[in-house]
Structure 1
């Protein structure tokens, strides 16, 4: 190691630094100075998270070696652009235009935009987009268009055409902020770089040991031995931890509660004991004084293993002669049916039109920009405290206590500010790694995965294979649906019981289908663990059913929108599961879309060329609100001595705006008290002080936390109310012996029923959201490359609570949908281990023309008429793109993603006049035989 003293002018002041010019990157140096507003994501120069301005030019500081920087160079970081009390116009614009969701990318974007406006104070939108493309600024949350909006607005301020006061959000005259674009409270810290995310917190724990994990490099093997002796001798190493050091049963105790499951859910070890089931299994953990020392030592851990056949595709594990991967349960371990109406064989035989197809949805990676990061320690009271990303803080306690060997009542989990999750952080696996390490060493620990490690260890959207047959009468009314869908759950059973249910509820939604049979299955493989991802379980269904809708419309010679229009739910119609809805907005949604659709068709016909085909596609979607039968949430509201109110909850924020949701619900529920927004304090996401609000999943949080807030507010105001109708002060409450803190409860008991395991009939969730997506694409015939030109969503998510939060979820969901359609995948373990390899959609891959409009049907059971929103927006936008490709050039892509080479191959086959034959997947059984068997052998619960 070498050392060099340098002087850098950082944010206007000369700073002396000492660095290793060969190994230190500029990001390392500025972060060591405490300027942790500069975040580090991919550490490969692919995401622009770490952008700083070096001598007037934007650089990605995570790959900018110090030896390439001249002494005396000028460096501007986010901290030098503005402060919380003196914002730069870009920072304010980011706040008011919804540029902040998770906020992890915000400093890098703002720094990059500052460099642009320093050079060009009057850019066009396309110039802004080109700047971000050139400088590789990536965002996973927003869909990019709000970021461009923010730059354009800030430029107006800098040109003197707009004042900061004009730009800022203004509370309406009536004081009501519910339904407006009230900025999220956390945005200020995120745009100024003063928000500490997990890795920042770890850096600021000087007493903490740094952890590095040892991965197997194989996907299926028998572990024969581990030799840690050489690693233990490495500099700075405190301990090398293996399964023998785990004090509990070394299992993630997450039960698989589906009554049909042949697996109990307790199959995932924290540290490998004797079997490796996928490449993300952790064999050992190295704890050392520094991150560099831990990583160096991890390379010295030696292990021997006996390689076993790797089953990376469930088509292999569903074969009748396939080897059983896990000795404790069969490869297909849940098979759940839906059965409705008459015998579909008879109905289909008598139907005028029938189409069928087989479809594959890929293993979609979440591609967050912040790799997973966790901290853990035992405090002076003996409380094991874990800092992490999480969609369900208390789940970490429930599932980890037996596995790590620590009392659940002595565990505390705190959510760090989170650089997005989109679902993967429901898993308690990395918190388990941190907890085991702190208990084994007796010291605080911190770990931040490399991006490659993050890709291997964290869960992904479950791939799926589906076969389906759709029938309709001569008038185009759907008569029957038959289908089977098999989800690749990967190496372990995490959330399989919830996932399999989605395959029963969203295939064929949102259409009236009187007769149906279906099978939904979860299947093991040696690939990445499958876990929650926005839209959990539904996009796989729509990959199948929304393509079938287009195929049927073509067969009968009907417009795809009109075919959908005559078949969507109308008042009183039932779903495939026999449930009715509180609202039926689909005809209104399609009516609102129709003029845009007609304009898009005319535009495609007008602007298409033989070399560049244009096409239009639509896809309907539906998703549930609340997570299952008898959902439950609690919050606290407390009146404080100064007249303010504090709201306590564990509404976990992954970037969706839990802070804004909490604030606006509380403000609206307490309107009679006349509180200003700044008189409402938020105490969130710490299990030691806040009650169980439940998972940030199932689009449930706005609905459940909102209803619980109303319940608590009613109790508090009733207690405060005097006989004359005025309200007691805090001092008057205390003097009268009246409590000042109340627990609000929301519960869906009575609104929901579980699905019948014998026929899939029931209604597990309280409300639903509905929508349709319209995509315009251009296909380059010579290469097969597809470009999405625009996407529009018409949605009904109930009354809008916070406009910029809901819009942000819509635009971000559509961006993820475009990625799912065209590029994103985690299949090849060598190619797909980073952002670019995994198909990340950068700004050039996402159209500036993304938009959402709403039909508003107040939900009778929802808080202030609201429902949830996030997951609808990622239900089916990908299928709108796939349908648009077919509309453009006449080739249908049955297996996602529709990469250019796949489209090109299909176009070449079409040009040769070849018929593209559809393969039908073997999914472990013949559908009718299995359904007949289920009917003859109904499940009967044990008495």
Structure 2
């Protein structure tokens, strides 16, 4: 231990610390300054940025013994507080820079470090600064962050008044469609909103810290566990194994289709018979500190009989492969697509132009900045409470309760404020683990993954192996499609059959293809388990069909845009599942893109050199809003004693904007009573207190829960109406003996699950539509691809909040760049960090991202709105791959398109 005297936010601190402790841990743990966040813990994300002696540093990798006596440290708490904001914080709010908000304090502190040195930076100066300091954002696409810095600099230079950075909604106007900042933005930009790790530090003193004993192999029989040495380690309370789990010790995968050959009970909470993937939890060490728990976990001995590991679908489908789950075949679900006439005669017709390709989209890691975190405790009401990053609290309650040995009414799940999940938390990860610990010990239990665990022990996007064929007339009219796809879903079946059905719904989507035959299957493997990821199943699907459209255009001698324009949905068209589209914006979206596309092609041709080849690529993307079939939701609208309103939902927010979506949707009705948006409150999801609004995935909440909010508000307003005009107050409602809370329910009536024998159905009532254009430069001496510019022309119906929609679009494009060029989780060790897995930092994402909107009102959307979150990641990656082909003639069919792949193809290898 050492004594340190230094200054934090202008206040002298004289404390005793562990010299090897990080500055971040001391700031957070010993000083309670939890505005400084710890993300990767490896200096790769910048969430922990502070200013020390005038320089921006990453405090998670700065040891206290390197902090000089008398050092001056500035954290987000010293930059500005609620009621006394720095221009950067105000600008962050008004530009929508805080989506999930976990990275915001680090970015704002870093930006202050820049503006302290240079009050007149260029946009490129800002981008260079954030790149240099490794400030990483997974939500925003970086554009609004640079916008915010530029406006804050104007205020500091006196060129803009501070009040110009405040959003003011005109009195009496609805917030629907406005740029009203999120209600949570203030807490996010000041570091005062507590995320999971912050809340964990504020648990009672008797809380136990957990560490996992995890498998270091991908497939094995479990022969024994010896915890004797671990139990002797300092601070250890207990070591828990499967024997301490009182229930079924399984998480149910909730089988969607009855033809699934598994029963869904295939994921152990703690391994009892087998290890199914690298990182599987075998035991839980409970101790007084995280450090002691982790040290003891290293002492637990596990006896394993290693089995063959099948790390890809083809390996697991081989004839000699053993069953990963004995009694269930590795190919456990199959589906067919049958639309129109038989396709074989069409493909054999000599008058047809045919094209075929094999495509693979990789195991994409979600890479949130905040690693997985959660805690559990026994409530005074006798329930077990589990707090986590769950984006489906009611769903997860039913998935884990039997495994814990609890009835549903004995368990409550609560969604913490959370850093983005991008879908991996559609599946429970640590919820059951902290539940087991709290039940077994009777004490609060806290678990925080480090970033290696985040990478190795949470779900990933499931790879698709796709063979696809198109047949078209010589003038480019699509006549037939044949598809075959295998989904590598890892060892656990949850939602795997549903994911495979996404191939039915989205391979070839966007085009009127009258005759289709297809076969898809879900394959159990020993690689990372497959979980939901933004645009679930469509990036894989569109990678095949949107690549093949360009290949067909080349064979026909047609322009890729015009081939798409000729075949895209119009009245009379049907989807691959036989559904009539509800709106037809694709021709208009392509019309808006066409002049930009033509100009971009001319520019690329003019600017290409002998070594730097420029190209332009396009793609279409579509996604449904909802869970398949008659999806439903519930919301409550309540008038409070102070005449404010609370909209009760379990609309989980992982950065997409549940708070602002809730407020703007309710305000469309409530503003007619003169209610300002600041008098509308939202709720943090809690199954013990909130109605079941369903999970936040599939861009469903704005449509399904938005409609439920609309219905609830309509009922409340109707009840508040006075016979002679005007509206009752809370006290008047009570005096009239009228309820002050009203429920709203809505269901997607008319939606119908796709048939597994034919793939035909009407899975969603509302869809999102987009057309993407990418402009790239390929260095043919290295194979490196640089994305210069991207354009997204999209239709998400009536825009509910402009800031939220723009942010979702920019963020999706940035993730599309990573998917196309760098991101992967194939190598379990190499890809276990952000840098190793190919995270796209700010200089990888162009500053020039253009958004174009059409607002076609959706008949079934609240006030005509659709969702938005999935659309921008449906197919931007394919526009990049098509642009690479346009630039240098290289067609990449196995993602990501790393430089060595492009170079090898250029060299004919």
Interval of TM-score (by shorter of Structure 1 and Structure 2): over 0.9
1:934 paired residue number: none
Counterpart CA distance in 1 for 2:224 and 2:701 is: 46
Deviation by residue 1:830-874 (Cα, 9 ceiling, x = unmatched): 100000011100111111111211011001111011011110110
1:31 paired residue number: 28
Counterpart CA distance in 2 for 1:398 and 1:466 is: 34
Q: Alpha-carbon deviation of 1:727?
A: 1.6
Q: Alpha-carbon deviation of 1:274?
A: 1.3
Q: Alpha-carbon deviation of 1:174?
A: 4.3
Q: Alpha-carbon deviation of 1:349?
A: 1.7
Counterpart CA distance in 2 for 1:684 and 1:197 is: 12
Aligned residue runs from structure 1 range 361-760, under 5 A: 361-749=361-749, 751-760=750-759
SS in 2 for 1:334: strand
Counterpart CA distance in 2 for 1:553 and 1:856 is: 29
Please identify, of 202-211 and 91-100, the stretch whose mean Cα deviation from structure 2 is larger. Answer: 202-211
8 Å contact 1:494–1:529 — kept in the other structure?
A: no
Please identify, of 347-356 and 447-456, the stretch whose mean Cα deviation from structure 2 is larger. Answer: 347-356
Please identify, of 202-211 and 73-82, the stretch whose mean Cα deviation from structure 2 is larger. Answer: 202-211
Counterpart CA distance in 2 for 1:51 and 1:79 is: 12
Deviation by residue 1:762-791 (Cα, 9 ceiling, x = unmatched): 111111110011000111111101110011
8 Å contact 1:784–1:903 — kept in the other structure?
A: yes
Counterpart CA distance in 2 for 1:822 and 1:758 is: 36
Deviation by residue 1:192-226 (Cα, 9 ceiling, x = unmatched): 01111101111111321000001110000111110
Counterpart CA distance in 2 for 1:306 and 1:590 is: 57
Counterpart CA distance in 1 for 2:171 and 2:401 is: 51
SS in 1 for 2:430: helix
8 Å contact 1:664–1:802 — kept in the other structure?
A: yes
Normalised TM-score (structure 1): 0.95
Counterpart CA distance in 2 for 1:159 and 1:207 is: 51
Counting matched residue pairs gives 906
Does residue 4 of the first structure (1) align with residue 2 of the second (2)? yes
Counterpart CA distance in 1 for 2:710 and 2:309 is: 52
Deviation by residue 1:242-277 (Cα, 9 ceiling, x = unmatched): 000001010002321212211111110000001001
8 Å contact 2:256–2:495 — kept in the other structure?
A: no
Unaligned runs of 5+ in 2: none
2:160 paired residue number: 162
Q: 1:189 aligns with which of 176, 181, 187?
A: 187
Does residue 277 of the first structure (1) align with residue 276 of the second (2)? yes
Q: Alpha-carbon deviation of 1:173?
A: 4.6
8 Å contact 1:348–1:479 — kept in the other structure?
A: no
SS in 2 for 1:670: helix
8 Å contact 1:661–1:702 — kept in the other structure?
A: yes
Q: Alpha-carbon deviation of 1:688?
A: 1.5
SS in 2 for 1:374: strand
Counterpart CA distance in 2 for 1:472 and 1:246 is: 58
Q: Alpha-carbon deviation of 1:689?
A: 1.3
Aligned residue runs from structure 1 range 786-935, under 5 A: 786-909=785-908
2:113 paired residue number: 115
Counterpart CA distance in 2 for 1:703 and 1:674 is: 25
Counterpart CA distance in 2 for 1:867 and 1:725 is: 34
Normalised TM-score (structure 2): 0.99
Q: Alpha-carbon deviation of 1:429?
A: 2.7
Counterpart CA distance in 1 for 2:765 and 2:289 is: 49
Counterpart CA distance in 1 for 2:103 and 2:242 is: 37
SS in 2 for 1:684: coil
Counterpart CA distance in 1 for 2:368 and 2:54 is: 29
Aligned residue runs from structure 1 range 101-140, under 5 A: 101-140=99-138
8 Å contact 1:652–1:695 — kept in the other structure?
A: yes
Please identify, of 534-543 and 399-408, the stretch whose mean Cα deviation from structure 2 is larger. Answer: 399-408
Counterpart CA distance in 1 for 2:734 and 2:648 is: 20
Unaligned runs of 5+ in 1: 910-915, 917-943
Counterpart CA distance in 1 for 2:562 and 2:478 is: 13
Does residue 217 of the first structure (1) align with residue 216 of the second (2)? yes
8 Å contact 2:3–2:15 — kept in the other structure?
A: yes
Please identify, of 646-655 and 718-727, the stretch whose mean Cα deviation from structure 2 is larger. Answer: 718-727
Counterpart CA distance in 2 for 1:349 and 1:531 is: 39
Counterpart CA distance in 2 for 1:387 and 1:891 is: 48
RMSD: 0.9
Q: 2:199 aligns with which of 198, 201, 205?
A: 201
8 Å contact 2:612–2:780 — kept in the other structure?
A: yes
Q: Alpha-carbon deviation of 1:280?
A: 2.3
Aligned residue runs from structure 1 range 269-308, under 5 A: 269-308=268-307
SS in 2 for 1:765: coil
Deviation by residue 1:224-244 (Cα, 9 ceiling, x = unmatched): 110001101111101100000
Counterpart CA distance in 2 for 1:693 and 1:381 is: 23
